[in-house]
Chain A
Amino acid sequence: MITNSPCTSSDHAAVADLWNAKTLDAASCWFQAATVEPPFVNGLLASGYAISLARESGVAVGFGLWCGPVELPRLIALAADAEEAYYRLMAAYCAWCVAGGATRGFAEIGTRPTTEKARMDALGVIEYSPIGFKPLAPDEQPADRVPRLLRAECDLALLGQALDQILEVSA
């Protein structure tokens, strides 16, 4: 059974290990991201970020990282190999947002086909809009721009329902 709990000071090394392992996963949006050390995780918590750790049989299997502001909280990163752990972490993000009074949340994700993008698509409730592009040369036209980065935004009530549904199916 997978459980989520807020990251504590004794979890910094586990989060850093999960983070660094994901940077080697070529199918993930984490691929080739910068690696981190436990003090970096400590710094995130000290700066106001929220980190939730997923465990299965006491072993850390994933984590999620997000932050305010209350009016539009941002999901920064989810890292989990197992689909169920990924969606349970997203459910933890959703619950955190709703508890803070938010009705919508957002994330930014690359256009490259990745495991995380496919999992977000599968929820069917996320609206994407391009916000980052391959930079244009002086002789190219704005219409020729190629999206590289998407803003993924959703209604948190709809997200919660979609997560309940998908987790019921996978249970």
Chain B
Amino acid sequence: MSTQFIRQPNAADGIDTYIAGGSYADVNLGNSNVLNIGTTVLSKSAAFSRAVLQFDLQPIPIGATILDATLTLYRASGGSLSLFSQFFANRLSTSAWIEFGTTWNRYDGVHNWFVPGGDYTPTDQDTCTVTTGGSDLVFTGLRDLAIDAIQLRLGKLNLLVIGPEGGESNNFIVVHSSDASSGSVRPKLVVNYYPLGPRRVPNFTGGMQELTANLGA
């Protein structure tokens, strides 16, 4: 029987912000109760905005079998978001970012990203396509990134969510952050898993047999 891990942190526990280019490139927005994602005119220039989030998956044991992982970002408002706009949840390759230090140019208030806007590996990502103007962003395919975080990154799942960039300058979504006053709209990660994956142990006939019992996770 699988176990469900749900993480929907509040302002005290949640680590998320958004970063924006243009005139906001050196401004930290870690206190914001919303996350802007996509292309819009901020202040006096068209700029891209991206959400940066971290989820702590340490309660999930390293040996667990991850069945699926889904991130939901609840829509607060948005511009004239084009239908079928695509959003990408990428694995941040720089894990040392800090919520109150990160900006478009820097990840910890001092050090620059290798590439402004956050370092990520576009091959490690999940895609979400918006099909109606009022829909939330739901990334249902984060299983591999969750496994990567649990097994290789001390349980820290660091995500950079990128929306439509270029083209129309009013093509963005605003979603609630962990600083939102209502708990039900904060970013939510759900991971379904078996506490310990099937283990293969030698049997007495020289072959292997599956051991599926929970070995104390």
Task: Say yes or no: A148-B100 contact (C-beta < 8 A), given A44-B169, A47-B80, A138-B108.
Answer: no
Task: Say yes or no: A76-B101 contact (C-beta < 8 A), given A47-B168, A133-B31, A140-B109.
Answer: no
Interface of B (DSSP majority class): loop
Say yes or no for B32: interface residue by CB 8 A criterion. yes
Residue of B28, B42, B102, B108 with most partner-chain A CB within 10 A: B28
A48-B79, A65-B41 known; 18 new pairs, CB 8 Å cut-off, are A30-B44, A33-B43, A34-B44, A44-B169, A46-B168, A48-B80, A69-B79, A76-B42, A131-B32, A132-B27, A132-B32, A133-B27, A133-B29, A134-B26, A135-B108, A137-B101, A145-B28, A149-B27
B193 nearest CB across to chain A (Å): 32
Say yes or no for A71: interface residue by CB 8 A criterion. yes
A142 to B101 alpha-carbon distance, docked (Å): 9
Say yes or no for A136: interface residue by CB 8 A criterion. yes
Task: Say yes or no: A142-B24 contact (C-beta < 8 A), given A43-B168, A43-B169, A71-B77.
Answer: no
A95 nearest CB across to chain B (Å): 21
B-facing mask of A40-56, CB < 8 A → 1, else 0? 10011011110000000
**Chain A residue at minimum C-beta to C-beta distance from B32:** A131
**Chain A residue at minimum C-beta to C-beta distance from B43:** A108
Interface size on B, residues (CB 8 A): 33
B98 nearest CB across to chain A (Å): 6
A16 nearest CB across to chain B (Å): 13
Report how many A-B pairs have Cβ atoms within 8 Å.
100
> Which residue from A44, A71, A133, A140 sits with its C-beta under 8 Å from B41?
A44
A95 to B24 alpha-carbon distance, docked (Å): 29
A69 to B32 alpha-carbon distance, docked (Å): 18
Task: Say yes or no: A138-B27 contact (C-beta < 8 A), given A44-B169, A48-B80, A77-B43.
Answer: no
Say yes or no for B45: interface residue by CB 8 A criterion. yes
B44 with A33: CB separation less than 8 A: yes
